[in-house]
């Protein structure tokens, strides 16, 4: 049902296609799925181009550019300045029927992204393309322009809050990393502690347990035994969004205990090798897959932070297989670390645990903000919740 005062139309009535050539002296921008339209030199991956400025497309401030091959994944962005973009993109010029910022939010709504997919053409998903003519046919329902601007204003406030907390999260991560670098290397000694630090191997403070191999026939529903895999490791913590359960009658050499460290030792993605997560009380008694290893230490609190250190990361890179993305358990056991006396280890672990706790609070706050914004977008962009012009909500 169309909300009162809203108009059923198509994207072709809200946008025209801009096909102007680029001009020398303008910066080049690229469309990303997560961050929208960003300056190319801010992207980590190499994005060099041999095209001349006039071989690019011009995107003007207030336009929206989209990657026709990735629009079904939400690859679009609002231009905050005049710039150059790839000739493989489509540049949209908003008409008087739509507010540019409102349109940018609308383009990120799950229902809209589904329609982008539905109107794209291609034999397989990696070949799907959304051409402007097909984009123009997509049906939409628009509120009056004044309501569009109010919705965009409200969502912008949420975005600014998210950006503020994101900055706090990044700052907390940087501070923790700096603290680890000083405390785990002995460069900075804590007051009141003395004694020699010793070089040890990982096998001196614990043991790795290999994961289990299972077949598709062993997979059961959630009544089975959870098998921890690489997808369960997210930013040094366990995540339970992609779970596999197996028949609990399978024999396992080791089930998880609190304080164990789960390690990804083999994966199709080289970047995931060595990633770890600590087993807490919510993950005791689980199994782990053959591409994972479980490290059980006599000093679990301190050992966990060793696995987060630069020293560990460097040794992972040195021991990666030349052709197979993996590290062997025998090599892991040989990893070298500096070990302070026990009392100092305990104090260092406590300080780093405190830093972890502060970071987790901020990350939880950030996740809640994203969830609340998504729920608000669902209500505002569909008319289920109306706004008052001059106020917040009707």
- The pLDDT tens digits for 93-149 are 999 999 999 999 999 999 999 999 999 998 887 789 999 999 999 999 999 999 999
Q: What is the DSSP letter of 279?
A: -
pLDDT of residue 47: 56
- At what angle are helices 145-183 and 342-380 packed, to 10 degrees? 170
Q: What is the DSSP letter of 286?
A: -
pLDDT of residue 203: 96
Rounded distance, CA 82 to CA 91, Å? 12
- Give the global pTM: 0.83
Domains of the chain listed by start with CATH number: 7-105+128-142 (3.90.220.20), 144-192+341-394 (1.10.287.1120), 198-339 (3.90.220.20)
Of the segments 155-169, 268-282, 324-338, which one has the largest average pLDDT value?
Answer: 155-169
- Left (φ > 0), alpha (ψ -120 to 50) or beta: where does 348 sit? alpha
Sign of CA dihedral 282, 284, 285, 291: positive
Rounded distance, CA 211 to CA 222, Å? 20
CB atoms inside a 10 Å sphere around CB 303? 23
Rounded distance, CA 359 to CA 363, Å? 6
Mean pLDDT of the chain: 92
pLDDT of residue 1: 81
Range name among 171-185, 238-252, 371-385 with the lowest pLDDT average = 238-252
Taken as a whole, the chain contains a residue count of: 394
What is the pLDDT averaged over residues 255-271?
93
């Amino acid at each position: 049902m169309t909300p009162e005062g809203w108009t059923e139309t198509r994207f072709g009535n809200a946008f025209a296609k801009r096909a102007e050539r680029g001009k020398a002296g303008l910066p080049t921008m690229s469309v990303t799925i997560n961050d929208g339209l960003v300056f190319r030199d801010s992207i980590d991956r190499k994005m060099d181009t041999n095209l001349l400025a006039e071989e690019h497309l011009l995107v003007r401030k207030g336009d929206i550019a989209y990657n026709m091959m990735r629009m079904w994944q939400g690859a679009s962005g609002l231009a905050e300045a005049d710039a150059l973009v790839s000739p493989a993109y489509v540049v949209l010029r908003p008409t008087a029927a739509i507010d540019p910022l409102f349109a940018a939010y609308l383009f990120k709504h799950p229902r809209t992204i589904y329609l982008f997919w539905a109107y794209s053409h291609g034999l397989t998903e990696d070949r799907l393309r959304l051409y402007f003519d097909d984009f123009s046919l997509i049906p939409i329902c628009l509120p009056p322009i004044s309501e569009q601007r109010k919705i965009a204003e409200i969502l912008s406030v949420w975005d600014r809050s998210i950006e503020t907390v994101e900055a706090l999260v990044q700052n907390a991560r940087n501070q923790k990393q700096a603290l680890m670098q000083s405390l785990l290397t002995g460069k900075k000694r804590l007051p009141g502690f003395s004694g020699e630090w010793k070089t040890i191997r990982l096998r001196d403070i614990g043991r790795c347990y290999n994961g289990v191999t299972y077949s598709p026939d062993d997979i059961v529903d959630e009544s089975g035994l959870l098998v921890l895999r690489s997808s369960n490791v997210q930013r040094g913590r366990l995540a339970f969004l992609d779970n596999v359960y197996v028949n609990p009658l399978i024999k396992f050499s080791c089930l998880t205990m609190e304080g164990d460290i789960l390690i990804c030792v083999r994966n199709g993605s080289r970047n995931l090798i060595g990633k770890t997560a600590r087993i807490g009380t919510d993950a005791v008694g689980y199994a782990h897959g053959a591409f994972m290893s479980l490290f059980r230490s006599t000093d679990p609190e301190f050992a966990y932070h060793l696995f987060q250190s630069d020293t560990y990361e460097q040794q992972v890179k040195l021991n990666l297989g030349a052709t197979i993305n993996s590290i062997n358990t025998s090599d892991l056991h040989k990893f070298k670390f500096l070990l302070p006396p026990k009392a100092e280890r305990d104090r260092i672990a406590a300080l780093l645990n405190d830093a972890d706790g502060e970071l987790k609070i901020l990350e939880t706050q950030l996740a809640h903000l994203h969830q609340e914004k998504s729920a608000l977008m669902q209500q505002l962009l569909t008319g289920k919740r109306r706004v008052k012009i001059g106020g917040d909500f009707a």
